[in-house]
Structure 1
């Protein structure tokens, strides 16, 4: 791996104005930078020193706190210098420019996105799953997501994955030892309880996958698209779910011309609720704007994780409603939501029928909304299990799923006794590689580049 180890610096706080801003530098030896910035002043390791931050000509940029973390006892494992000053964007830019100027002889340069955390990973301060948890913690949109990201950052997810790796490795060693000494004619599968060990590993993997899949919901959320004919109450339902008047509601058909998106939380799960233009037959009686709105509605349907098909409970089903239903993608879950039960006389309820689950509610009167929320959680697969959740990424789920497939094939070979021990061992090796890729023990340079490029600069 070709790694640039020259010192780096960047603004570590978010763009914009704030009470405090931080400029951070990292490198293998930053004593020269400290001397260039503060002269003979010595910075006591890991202690805050209140100092003036000066330009090269001695004029003061700001007054603030300097903290020096000698490597390897720092975030990156290198020497780290943090300058904490006032959070004005101009002040921070001036301070960053001064740091880069003072460190020019050391080869100090501007950091790339995620480069501080990448160095922490490369210097064994974090594994890859923990490094990703840093970005997830920053990006967390709910309290539950933040808690799960913090748990992954502490190493809980990595510890669980490493335990699986250890289990697979131990079993693999037994299998390969038997292959190395066939003359002893030991009935390996029976005496070492290989099948029992494999079963225990598979059960543990299933539990980890379940926890990771639940955690992935906290990170990604669901795209929930509201679809129906004009004036069936889509915007009213969006407002009821959001608890705010985020969409305009009028009795005039076609009020919503373009999508309106609102992110809400149900049990900590982020749901991106997308209100769309009402669907009706495209003919010469509708204007160009509404025609485009209908086209965009179908585009959102194609990207939906869940479709809420709204119908008017007071009028009952129509041929147009059935035509809309028939055009939905077959692989996307659909809830048929009967709105306006305050006019029809229906009670709030949920009916599981052959075509779909039907929910009866009134968005205007806020009746049955909790039933709809519960159904959305059910479709999401959310369960309050009491288990710790890991804020998993798609690549984690893919690796866990692939490892499970290799273990399943290993079980098939184990059922054939020692005639297929070499294939048994190979499937265990492949499963081990998949699990190890989660923490970065086996990861390609390309994968690392993609992961860290999505971080913010300064982190």
Structure 2
């Protein structure tokens, strides 16, 4: 319970030898009473955390009950009857933001922490919650504020002459901000993989072992595997953490011409998924005498960000191992596996991990990693405005126009931490939270 009535709830509905109000941040054993009947609902522990030194910055009370859903419902009915309202999605975090306990980037990190599905995602969310990204934004914004202050001084005191070297110093500061924004934006590719997973699409002709490979990579029977060509007709997605890195594997229908209406829909879905993937695995059948995959490769070229060739079923044809099955100008790497025997699968997994790991720029300890699409859009806006400013002659620039653009760049940057915001923005952010967090 957070807010002005927290202390009143304790006084009215909790009975103990020692009042939690007189012993803040201590667990006190007592009886929790029903508001309507004054009867004991449960023996419970209560803890009182007075504001502003609480998560929300307000007076906060916690009751720890026995683990019965019925008891919880009775306590909630009693509190609602007392006049306590149920929390809206993200309301505790929203109050923490409005009371200056967390900035907006830290608030979003709370949601990321809750939804983290890998060790790496957990680490990045925790670092963001503890202000790593916020400190980076503050550091990047400082030179922008300095230059803006100088420009505003020129507006206030137009009679003062500004020497050329002074403007060159301002330009130098803005270039450093431009470099910092560019570096931070580069971390989004890695941050995006951490938060949402590295997206891997399995493509190939029918019956080359795409579904079998999917099952092997995710560690369970996620896709149906049969000897019948064209079994997979829908997209099958599965998320899995490998060595602390999150991957989203997607199995798709075999790419070929088909007269079957249902299979044709599946094939079109597979084609539409190609640009979505961070990496496409082109699965090739080692036991196919013709090793015919050119038609599928043609489908991928120009659409896929990166292609790896994975020759499967090497237990049936060892002669292909080590051969350049797919030319390196089309496929960045060639792998040789047998889903049946497990041969080569560890090498493929290790390469996938290394591929994600290689995306992490060499970025200092004081900086953050961008995982959030909103943060990326804010950084892109700030960088675009700043890049346009740097194309101009600052000495001849109208001070009012320059100040307006500098404020625009700074405003986009500060939107990340919530220094500039709208009610609509807050509504969109907190609507993604689960109840109460």
In the superposition, the TM-score normalised over structure 2's length comes to 0.87
CA–CA separation in structure 2 for the residues paired with 1:46 and 1:372: 47
> How far did residue 298 of structure 1 move?
3.8
Q: Which residue matches 1:418? A: 395
Q: Which residue matches 1:339? A: 311
Q: Which residue matches 2:107? A: 131
Deviations 1:295-331 (A, max 9, x none): 5434544644433222224436666x43333344834
CA–CA separation in structure 2 for the residues paired with 1:83 and 1:196: 56
Alignment of 1:402-441 (within 5 A): 402-413=381-392, 416-420=393-397, 422=399, 423-441=401-419
Q: For residue 238 of structure 2, give the secondary structure of its aligned residue in structure 1.
A: strand
Q: For residue 26 of structure 1, give the secondary structure of its aligned residue in structure 2.
A: coil
> How far did residue 68 of structure 1 move?
1.2
Alignment of 1:252-271 (within 5 A): 252-266=228-242, 268-271=244-247
Q: For residue 396 of structure 2, give the secondary structure of its aligned residue in structure 1.
A: helix
Unmatched runs of 5 consecutive residues or more in structure 1 = 1-24
Q: Check conservation: 1:216, 1:390, Cα contact below 8 A.
A: no
> How far did residue 441 of structure 1 move?
0.6
1:323 to 283, 286, 295: 295
1:357 to 332, 340, 355: 332
Instruction: Indicate whether 1:149 and 2:128 are aligned.
Output: no
> How far did residue 390 of structure 1 move?
2.9
Q: Check conservation: 1:225, 1:306, Cα contact below 8 A.
A: yes
CA–CA separation in structure 2 for the residues paired with 1:355 and 1:383: 24
Q: Check conservation: 1:76, 1:117, Cα contact below 8 A.
A: yes
Deviations 1:260-286 (A, max 9, x none): 332123453311101123233212xx5
CA–CA separation in structure 1 for the residues paired with 2:283 and 2:95: 51
> How far did residue 207 of structure 1 move?
2.7
Q: Which residue matches 1:451? A: 429
- Cα pair distance change 1:130/1:447, threshold 3 Å: same
Q: Which residue matches 1:62? A: 42
Q: For residue 333 of structure 1, give the secondary structure of its aligned residue in structure 2.
A: coil
Q: Check conservation: 1:47, 1:68, Cα contact below 8 A.
A: yes
> How far did residue 110 of structure 1 move?
1.3
Instruction: Indicate whether 1:42 and 2:19 are aligned.
Output: yes
Q: Which residue matches 1:80? A: 60
> How far did residue 223 of structure 1 move?
2.8
Question: Is the strand fraction higher in 1 or 2?
Answer: 1
CA–CA separation in structure 2 for the residues paired with 1:316 and 1:167: 64
Q: Check conservation: 2:308, 2:331, Cα contact below 8 A.
A: yes
Q: Which residue matches 1:310? A: 283
Instruction: Indicate whether 1:167 and 2:168 are aligned.
Output: no
Q: For residue 202 of structure 2, give the secondary structure of its aligned residue in structure 1.
A: strand
Q: Which residue matches 2:372? A: 393
> How far did residue 452 of structure 1 move?
0.5
Moved more, 139-148 or 258-267: 258-267
CA–CA separation in structure 2 for the residues paired with 1:71 and 1:327: 61
Unmatched runs of 5 consecutive residues or more in structure 2 = none
Q: For residue 2 of structure 2, give the secondary structure of its aligned residue in structure 1.
A: strand
Instruction: Indicate whether 1:183 and 2:155 are aligned.
Output: no
Q: Check conservation: 2:198, 2:356, Cα contact below 8 A.
A: no
- Cα pair distance change 1:260/1:373, threshold 3 Å: farther
CA–CA separation in structure 1 for the residues paired with 2:390 and 2:268: 49
How many residue pairs get aligned? The number is 425
Q: For residue 109 of structure 1, give the secondary structure of its aligned residue in structure 2.
A: coil
Backbone CA RMSD of aligned residues: 2.9
Q: Which residue matches 1:5? A: none
Instruction: Indicate whether 1:383 and 2:360 are aligned.
Output: yes
Q: Check conservation: 1:348, 1:368, Cα contact below 8 A.
A: no
Q: For residue 50 of structure 1, give the secondary structure of its aligned residue in structure 2.
A: strand
> How far did residue 372 of structure 1 move?
6.3
- Cα pair distance change 1:51/1:390, threshold 3 Å: farther
Q: For residue 193 of structure 1, give the secondary structure of its aligned residue in structure 2.
A: helix
